[in-house]
């Protein structure tokens, strides 16, 4: 049995299979997931687990070089934006319109659905390299 980090077997397998510049998305309970994209549904109830808790857990195992966030998070969910930036202070942030972020989900290896119930709590993580 895995002792630390991501213990969800589906999520751990996706992370282990990612290479440089591959995308993984994490988001709120209401984000529409495009057909054909693997959805790893961790949502149990409203706010369980939270977006930030899931993101923290993923970052224990995934090297991230860039993130993509919805432009709207700047005005509609400043608290989540601050929390994301605090978790990854040295990671490049690209802001795109929410409509574009939803379209870009089709390019991700998987979408991790949380129980988050706040607006625009969605991110695309671009994997980096550890060497």
SS3 50: coil
- Residue 20 is among the residues annotated as catalytic for this protein: yes
Annotated binding site: 28, 98, 120-122
Alpha helices (H) in the chain, listed in sequence order: 9-16, 51-59, 73-76, 78-87, 98-104
Annotated binding site for substrate: 28, 98, 120-122
Using CA atoms of 59, 41, 32, 75 in order, give the dihedral in degrees to the nearest 10.
Answer: -40
Which of 121, 105, 122 is closest to 23 using CA atoms? 105
Cis previous bond, 49, omega within 30 = yes
Q: Which of 7, 9, 20, 107 is catalytic?
A: 20
Question: Which residues are catalytically annotated?
Answer: 20
């Amino acid at each position: 049995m895995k002792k630390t980090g991501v213990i969800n077997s589906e999520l751990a397998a996706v992370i282990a299979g990612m290479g440089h510049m591959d995308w993984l998305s994490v988001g709120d309970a209401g984000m529409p997931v495009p057909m054909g994209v693997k959805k790893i549904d961790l949502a149990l109830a409203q706010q369980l687990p939270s977006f930030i808790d899931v993101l923290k857990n993923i970052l224990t195992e995934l090297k991230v070089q860039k993130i993509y966030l919805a432009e709207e998070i700047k005005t509609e969910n400043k608290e989540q934006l601050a929390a994301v930036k605090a978790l990854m202070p040295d990671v490049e942030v690209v802001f795109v319109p929410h409509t574009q972020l939803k379209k870009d989900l089709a390019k991700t290896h998987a979408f991790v659905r949380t129980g988050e119930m706040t607006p625009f709590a969605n991110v695309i993580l671009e994997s980096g390299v550890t060497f």
